[in-house]
Chain A
Amino acid sequence: MTAIIEKADGAAGRLSEAVEAVESHLHPKPSWDVADHPMPTGREEIWRFTPISRIRPLLEATPSDARLVWEETLPEGVTSRAVTEQEARTISTEAPVDRVSSLAASLSGGARLVDVPAEAELTQPVSIVLRGTGELVWGHTVVRIGHHARATVVLRHEGSARYGTKLDVIVGEGALVNFVTLQDWADDTVHGGQTSVLVGRDAQVRTVTVSLGGSLVRLTETARFAGPGGSLEQFGLYFVDAGQHIEHRLFVDHNAPQTHSQVDYRGALQGKGAHSVWVGDVLIRKVAEQISTYEANKNLVLTDGCRADSVPNLEIQTGQIEGAGHSSTTGRFDDEQLFYLQSRGIAPDEARRLVVRGFFAAIIAKIGVPELEEHLMTAIEAELAKSVAA
């Protein structure tokens, strides 16, 4: 709050900026200092859906030198190198917004920086596979995409780990980026952290976040704009099995005019204790005139005993916008859809499979990497085989 008073004491013209700095109670104050992110009790707004006991390894400041196995396939011109913790802080999009990512930033001993040069026209994706070998790992990754570059980046997580992470994606002016992360973990993995995307002026950014595996996955995904004209599409897909907790917390900060955002996350749940959480916050600041935003979350509950929490929030500080909306639906199979398909001779399990595949098809089609799209369809088939055909 001190910062606000200081700014307000400046030029009168800064008053609006000062008011702008008042963050909603929904969004914790970013800080590099772990002490600013105390151990949660589970009653805090941002932690109330999370089973604290299960994510505790990522909340305690236990140092670890372990790393995930990092396998990269970099198209020509793309580089990757280690940077110090100090440099990582300087180039990061924003400071950590929760305890997990602040611990990741301070205990990871620096970051891995991937650079896509300005004006690069990549015809192959930047592919990074991160594989856990059963240890506690803190990680910080920064992906920088230069101005007017065109790139697809795929970050794929596999194996077993307790993994606390901070991931920064900085997209330069006018760049065209497709950023895909895949949580394809083994069943015992606990993965928590923060992904922060900065959308450059007039840049077009699409993120696709796919969470399939792991015991607990809790990702906070924040996005801001570096200037006007940027466009952000965020797609998500999750498949939650018995006992699994998968949580996606999105925050889109419309802090610049003429920006556009669209969020579409879809999940399927099956089995006892399957729990998904989706929180979608959109803040439209006073300065963000002529913006448009729409966020949607859809959950398909396949069996009894599942729980899907879905909380969209829209905070609007200016009326001078093109449009803003959200929707959230959670339901079982649509009986009318199943009846229609079955009335054409299609057996009930096949009909349900068709509906689920169709439900996810629109998201998978956004990935733009054919072999990954195929992999996901196969993974979804395998998940479905557990419940739908039963």
Chain B
Amino acid sequence: MRRVVEVTNIKKSFGKLRVLDKVDFYVKEGDFKVIIGENGSGKSTLLKIMVGLLLPDEGEVNVLGIDVKKQWKKLSAKIGVVLANERSLYWKLTAWENLDIFGGIYGVPKKERRKRMKELLERFGLFEYKDKPVEDFSTGMRKKLMVCKALIHNPKILFVDEILNGLDPSSTREMVEYLSELNEKGLTVVMISHVLHILPESADVALLRNGQIQMEVKYKDIRSKRREIYEVFEKLIKVGEVDEKDILFSREGYEDKA
């Protein structure tokens, strides 16, 4: 599979704080990649660099063959992005109006747009609330709608920042199942998450620590081991490594395997 996201030697500082330090990261077509790390480790910064919202101080970013630093608007039509901010929807408008407007902005033809809006809203159980303003929605409903909005133009890659936070268990499962289903149909997913116990089996997990991608592992390889998943991840995120019995590959090993 070809690489659809290639981040090479990225450095990013805010003032004196070095957030990313020579990060190399790639995502292959059809991957479900989850970036994990402590709060403030630079996950969102990395994601924002990949979608073009942020410019790195150094390094190259290439997504779907597009130089993101120079042509981020060209890229925007081909990717979907869900940020953590619930306010990224127009709260005074209804769910239907939000999707209609964003579908229009992304150039989805009216007939196709309406069909897709219906499908997406039905998939997330929001269709019966389509005429309610977003301000009347719960957090979970808004997050689902944010995903619908990001998918309205049928993107090739979906970038998702902490979408699972604030969702109840059944909504979390529903969201992960849907993302997994889309991934199985060919959508590449790059997700940041602190909710790690329910990721799809096929997911690859990348640990961002001390400004670098320190380790990449198959999610199923962590999950199948002896300890509670949270305990393993807690140690992984904090210390940057876990017992050999909890994890199968180092970053190098993973890459060899991949």
A binds B: no
Binding site for B on A (CB under 8 A): none
